[in-house]
Amino acid sequence: MVLIAVITAIALMSVIRGLDGGVKILSEINMVLALLLLLFILVVGPTGDIFATAFSGAAAYAQHIVPLSMPFGREDINFSQGWTAFYWAWWISWSPFVGMFIARVSKGRTIREFVICVILVPTVLSVLWMAAFGGTAISQVIADASAPITSAAQELKLFQMVSGFPFASLLSLIGIVLVLAFFVTSSDSGSLVIDTITAGGKENAPVAQRIFWCSFEGLIAIVLLLVGGSEALNALQAMAVSTGLPFTMVLLAMCVSLLIGLRKAYAELQAQTV
């Protein structure tokens, strides 16, 4: 509960300062810390194994993405339902918030810049991040099957992994700050989107309205934690995931609409140049 209150308080200060004065600054700090931690692991960790994991993992992903995305003819049906389908629905349910926020911060950018900065760069960084931390952990287990990381609790594995590195305490501190910062940036950006929606599309809604929505989000989380604990949070999560199917239909319609709009804009541009 204390953690929720701290996250809400920091997100509240960010929301009050606005997109440029709060959210942007926190996001930049977040990315700098994440890149520093990534570079440290790449240099100090098993560099060769990390890059081997990155290339082999990316190749395997590209090779198997289609069959692994299908629920038919699979023996690992539990994995398909618990991970593949769950995360597709989870991210699709997030799409209205994430899409509106990205659209707002991308205003004035070209389509090429948008594709590079929103799709290509995050994909490459995600592959490197997974390869760096996943490859390092796998190397530790291969070197010692009884390594402490194998028996550590799920939420402590990162700290156990970096415990053998130089500056382990500093790395653990950066990890804690990063987790906190990721929660905060998700909260404040979501609050801004809700604020924009309830203000009828206005980007500069009254500050009091921003404070209300950010505080209300934190209050809901605290109430759910106190009333039902993890079961209530799981129920809320399941409800959010259930919205994935209707939003999928909306996203498909928007994809078709975007294609039509781009073709129309291209035809108009061609007509002007003739």
pLDDT tens figures, 139-188: 888 887 667 777 778 778 888 888 888 888 898 898 888 888 888 888 87
Average pLDDT over residues 250-263: 89
pTM of the prediction? 0.79
Query: Given pLDDT bands bounded at 50, 70 and 90, which one contains residue 265?
Result: confident
Question: Are 171 and 255 members of one domain?
Answer: no
Question: Are 14 and 74 members of one domain?
Answer: yes
Question: Are 260 and 199 members of one domain?
Answer: no
10 Å Cβ neighbour count for 78? 9
**Is the pLDDT score of 102 beyond 80?**
yes
Residue 259 lies in domain:
246-274
Quick check: 147 and 155 in contact, CB under 8 A? Answer: no
Question: Are 131 and 252 members of one domain?
Answer: no
Helix (H, G, I), strand (E, B) or coil at 243: coil
Question: Are 230 and 273 members of one domain?
Answer: no
Question: Are 116 and 225 members of one domain?
Answer: yes
What rounded mean pLDDT belongs to the chain? 82
* Residue whose structure tokens are 């319609």: 253
Quick check: 116 and 267 in contact, CB under 8 A? Answer: no
Question: Are 105 and 140 members of one domain?
Answer: yes
Question: Are 53 and 184 members of one domain?
Answer: yes
Q: Which residue type occupies 189?
A: S
Q: What's the residue count for the chain? A: 274
- Based on the structure, what is the number of domains in the chain? 2
Question: Are 219 and 145 members of one domain?
Answer: yes
The more confidently predicted of residues 55 and 18 is: 55
The string of DSSP codes covering 74-99 is -S-HHHIIIIIIHHHHHHHHHHHHHH
Average pLDDT over residues 75-79: 74
The model's pLDDT over 199-249, given as tens digits with 9 standing for 90+, comes to 777 777 777 888 888 888 888 878 877 776 667 667 767 777 777 778 888
Question: Are 167 and 257 members of one domain?
Answer: no
Question: Are 110 and 145 members of one domain?
Answer: yes
pLDDT at residue 260, rounded to an integer? 93
Question: Are 18 and 101 members of one domain?
Answer: yes
